Structures are given as structure tokens and as C-alpha cells.
Amino acid sequence: MANSYCIHFNKLPAYLTALTDVTITAPLGVFYPFGSAAGDTFFPYPNDGFINITLLHPFLYFNRTHQDIHVSPYGGLLLGQLLSLNYDVIAPFFVRTDYSERGNVSYQQYTTGDVLHTATRDISSYFPNVTFTASWVLVVTWDRVVYYQTNDTVTNDQKATFQVILISGGDLSFVLMNYGDISPTPWPMRIGYSYNQTIILLNDCYPNGTIDAVNLNTSSNINIPGRWAFPTSLESTFSCEQHVVGVHLQVSSAERLNETAVEEQILKPLRDLLRQRGVDVSGIRLRRLVEKQP
């Protein structure tokens, strides 16, 4: 009878799923509450291209403090003066979308309640050297928005669900980006953020600068598939080398496995495969081996 095991790996490149046939499933609950159940405000499709949110709490974004934020239907937030072109951008998934007929864009601000406790716990976990208590959270969600259609290049079945979360407390602030189901898109896309004329693009950390949209819900820089986290009150220290994802594999074996066997039979061939693709495998290691009970 075959024995069944769960194998957990750490420190794999975030774009692993673009290079191998390994399947990684994003955990449930990666999204913060959204939609009608969360009491969100839903955006009508904008006529002028942007919708303004007046913030209940000032948001410190690097060296600028903002009292309002402009939401783009194309999957981004703009901070600053639009008319003077003096603004910064937070782009969880900046691509041509159209929710005039299908999909929703909504937001909610929190100054009390469980969401603040969740945000405090999350930031304290991702950045353990920081003492932090959230006092304000903004959640903006693009839910099943379809891509802009021209001719037959895009269908109504091609859609994207993603979320950006702004978190503030004291003189510290953070941004989370969450990813759900995202269909392939024919349009160019940008993911990242800018500040003070500095542009940080996650695209630059992938082969040829190209991100596979469908794999965003398995990528991470904090070892939580489908979520990225960035401090935004200090000068950015973001590096492509931080892009890692944990992987959970379930395997069956006719013989009993131990950590040595997993290292030789599974992890070593995986390292060899990634090394052939030009991937730095120095940080890949086995974190845990669990034998599942029948």
C-alpha cells in the first residue's frame, strides 16, 4: 500500500510555477473582507477614468502624507495631484479592464474592529522587527472584472480578482496585494509601486520581465501564496531576491520516506531542474515532512 506524505518547501522563487509543472494552491482567507457582506461602497463605472476616496485617516506614503486617493478602474491607486502629474502609483494589477457590464470595484475603510486586529497581526508576522498597531485600514477590491475587449481578442470569461490593502498606524504604513483567480490577459500589465520618481516593478524580477498572470495567486514575498507585503513609510529596500514562495506537495510512495530520501529523490532533482533554467537554488530547503494518516 502506498504511503501518503505532505512535503513543505521554503525559499522557492516566486515564479516557480512558470518554470515547472508543480501545482501550488493559494490558501483560503488570503483576501480581507470585501463586497456586500463587508459593507463595501461600490464604484459606478467612472466617466472620467478615476474615482476619489476621501480618507478617514491620513496615509503616510514614504515622505508624503495623503488625505485622499484616486482609484483607477485599470487596477491601480494614484496618490497626489493628478492635474500636475505629480503623483505616485500603487499598482496591484495595472491592466486594461472594463467593469461597466461585469465585475465590481469596491472599497471599505476601517478605524475599529476585527480588520484592524487582523492587520496588526499580519504586519507583526511579516515584519517581526517592527512594533506596530494598525489604526486605519483601506481595502480596495477588483472582483471578477473583465479585460477590455476589442474584436475577439478577449471574452467575458477572462476576468481577474485582486485586492490592495493600505494599513497605517503611528508613523508606519504598509501595503498588501492579494491575488485570487486571474485569467490570462492579452494586454500589457504592470505590478508594483512608485514613489518620488522611483519605480519598483515586480515584473523586473521575472524572466524577460514577464509575469504569468494566472500564477499571481501562487507568488509571494512573505511565504503566503497569493499575497505580497511592502513597508511604505521608509525608503524601500525591496529586492528581487526577496521573492519567495512556500510550496506544499502531496506525494505517494511505495516505501516509507524520511528527510534524507526526500532530499535525494525529490528536492535534488527539483534543484537540478531549476538550476538548468538559471534559477538561484541556494536558499531552497526542506521545511517539514508530514506522513498523512490513511
> How does residue 7 score in pLDDT terms, banded at 50, 70 and 90?
very low
Domain-embedded: residue 264: no
Domain-embedded: residue 290: no
Residues 53-65 have pLDDT tens digits of 999 999 999 888 9
pLDDT at position 74: 86
Q: Does residue 11 carry a pLDDT above 50? A: no
Domain-embedded: residue 246: no
Domain-embedded: residue 88: yes
Does the model's pTM come out above 0.85? no
Domain-embedded: residue 245: no
Domain-embedded: residue 219: no
Domain-embedded: residue 267: no
Residues 199-229 have pLDDT tens digits of 666 655 655 555 677 778 888 888 888 899 9
Q: Does residue 125 carry a pLDDT above 80? A: yes
Residues 222-265 have pLDDT tens digits of 888 889 998 888 665 555 554 444 454 566 666 777 778 777 77
Q: CB of 73 within 8 A of CB of 101?
A: no
Domain-embedded: residue 165: yes
Considering only 1-10, 154-163, 184-193, which range has the smallest mean pLDDT? Answer: 1-10
In the chain, the number of structural domains is 1
Q: Which residues of 193-228 are buried (b: 16+ CB within 10 A; e: fewer)?
A: bbbeeeebbbeebbeeeebbbbbbbbbbbbebbbbb
Segments forming the whole domain that contains residue 106 = 34-209+228-236
Helix (H, G, I), strand (E, B) or coil at 18: helix
Percent helix, strand and coil across the chain, each to the nearest 5: 20, 40, 40
Facing residues of 250 across strands?
6
pLDDT at position 219: 81
> How does residue 177 score in pLDDT terms, banded at 50, 70 and 90?
very high
The stretch 276-294 carries a mean pLDDT of: 60
Q: CB of 228 within 8 A of CB of 14?
A: no
pLDDT at position 263: 77
> How does residue 191 score in pLDDT terms, banded at 50, 70 and 90?
confident
